[in-house]
Amino acid sequence: MIYFCEMQQKIVIIGGPGTGKSSVLNELIDRGYFCMPEVSREVTLKAKEQGIDQLFLTEPLLFSKMLLEGREQQYLIAHKSNKDIVFFDRGIPDVHAYLDFFKTDYPPVFLEKSKKYQYTKIFHFSPWEEIHTTDNERYESFEESITIDKFLLKAYKELGYKIYNVPFGSIKERTNFILNALSANV
Owning domain of residue 174: 9-183
How many domains in the chain? 1
- In angstroms, the first-to-last Cα distance of the chain is 27
User: Looking at the domain assignment, is residue 4 inside a domain?
Assistant: no
pLDDT bucket at 52, cuts 50 / 70 / 90: low
Q: How confident is the model at residue 76 (pLDDT cuts 50, 70, 90)?
A: very high
CATH number at residue 84: 3.40.50.300
- Residues contacting 111, CB < 8 A, separation 6+: 96
Asked whether the predicted pLDDT for residue 154 surpasses 50, the reply is yes
Residue 68 lies in a domain: yes
What are the pLDDT digits (tens) for 61-75?
888 888 899 999 999
